[in-house]
Amino acid sequence: MNLWMKNTIKILFIILFILPVNATLTRDNVADAQMLTNIIDPPNTAALNIMVAALSSLKELRKQNQGTPENIEALIKIKLLPNIAIDIVTNLVLKDYWNTIDSKQKQILQQYIIQSLIADYADILGAYEQIGNINISTDPNVKRRDNRAIVKLLISLSDGQNPFAVTLKMTHSNRWRIYDILFSGVSIIKNYKAQFNSIIKRKGLDNFIKEINKKLTKSTDV
């Protein structure tokens, strides 16, 4: 057998046997990484940490008599906003129009949704004037599918108060982030989508984007 034939056989051997083994190892490594993530960073623990951090900070603001609307907005920007998947939120809210708008328009709409979320969360947190002992628990029955999860939290803000349920829809990319919140069965995503669709049908998409761009510009000028 000449040298060329020997080398050819070696190459074929590598292709047929070694590469498939390496591919299997890669898939196993991915599976192991996913299993490790599920152990050290489960969605229910991430959801619990996010809510505890936000409500504990609100409690501290109230304790220090610093629970002003401005400080509550700052709290949301620091504690909640980094844990929200804004890109997914924007895509879901504007799903019917996403492929018809350019990158600049997407950026304008995303910024508007961010401001809307901050304002809405500030109103919700601001409504709780008295916060006693915060008690938050998670429903152990977490719904999982690929990198998505649905986590239900039970929250009571004072002793003897009946807990209320908050459902968080979450997505995982490096870490768990929230992309929708359901309170009393009402989805923030569906609420925003209905509002936006109503305005767009009346005024048109271009006019709607122009109007919110003006609002954003005014808010930055203040």
What is the distance between the alpha carbons of residues 215 and 207, in angstroms, rounded to a whole number?
13
Whether residue 123 is found in the same domain as residue 13 = no
Which DSSP state fits 77? I
CA atoms within 13 A on the CB side of 136: 20
> Does the structure show a pLDDT above 70 at 170?
yes
Whether residue 167 is found in the same domain as residue 109 = yes
pLDDT of residue 152: 92
The residues pairing with 171 across neighbouring beta strands, listed in sequence order, are: 148, 177
Whether residue 9 is found in the same domain as residue 94 = no
- The pTM for the full model equals 0.75
Q: Looking at residue 80, which CATH number applies to its domain?
A: 3.10.450.710
The residue segments making up the domain with residue 120 are: 42-221
What is the distance between the alpha carbons of residues 169 and 176, in angstroms, rounded to a whole number?
10
**Confidence band, pLDDT 50/70/90 cuts, at residue 139:** confident
What is the distance between the alpha carbons of residues 218 and 18, in angstroms, rounded to a whole number?
63
Between 158 and 124, the higher pLDDT residue:
124
Whether residue 146 is found in the same domain as residue 201 = yes
pLDDT of residue 20: 39
pLDDT of residue 38: 59
Whether residue 8 is found in the same domain as residue 102 = no
Share of the chain above pLDDT 90, in %: 33
Between 36 and 177, the higher pLDDT residue:
177
List pLDDT tens digits, range 86-106. Answer: 999 999 999 888 888 899 999
What is the distance between the alpha carbons of residues 27 and 106, in angstroms, rounded to a whole number?
36
**Confidence band, pLDDT 50/70/90 cuts, at residue 24:** very low
Say which residues have a Cβ less than 8 Å from residue 80's Cβ, sequence separation at least 6.
50, 54, 121
Whether residue 123 is found in the same domain as residue 17 = no
Sign of the Cα pseudo-torsion (145, 77, 139, 189, in order): negative
Whether residue 5 is found in the same domain as residue 57 = no
Share of the chain above pLDDT 70, in %: 75
pLDDT of residue 171: 94
Mean pLDDT of 150-167: 79
Number of domains into which the chain is organized: 2
Whether residue 61 is found in the same domain as residue 162 = yes
